[in-house]
Amino acid sequence: MGRTAKIASVATLAGFMLTVAIVSVTRPAQPVAPASAPVAAALETPAVDLRRCRTITMPDSGCEAAWEAKRRRFFGREILP
């Protein structure tokens, strides 16, 4: 690779890094919502229930609720009572 190609590569990389830095600085900060009581209560779902639910083959409302709570926590959706 010639000298001109190396200089062009470094300039391109520096431009990309500068663009990323400017975008990250000018982007508005996302406010973090405090955990509310229903969300905090849902975080206390024992992992033992989910382990038990992995092995059963029959429908179980308790297991369905535990898996739904886990999905909502994973995807960041608020859990309503």
37 lies in the same domain as 16: no
40 lies in the same domain as 75: yes
Determine if the pTM surpasses 0.95: no
Burial class (CB in 10 A: 0-12, 13-18, 19+), 79: middle
26 lies in the same domain as 37: no
- pLDDT digit string (tens) for 45-63? 556 678 888 888 888 888 8
17 lies in the same domain as 41: no
Domain encompassing residue 3:
1-31
- pLDDT digit string (tens) for 14-49? 999 999 999 988 887 776 655 555 544 545 555 667
How many domains, in total, are found in the chain? 2
39 lies in the same domain as 73: yes
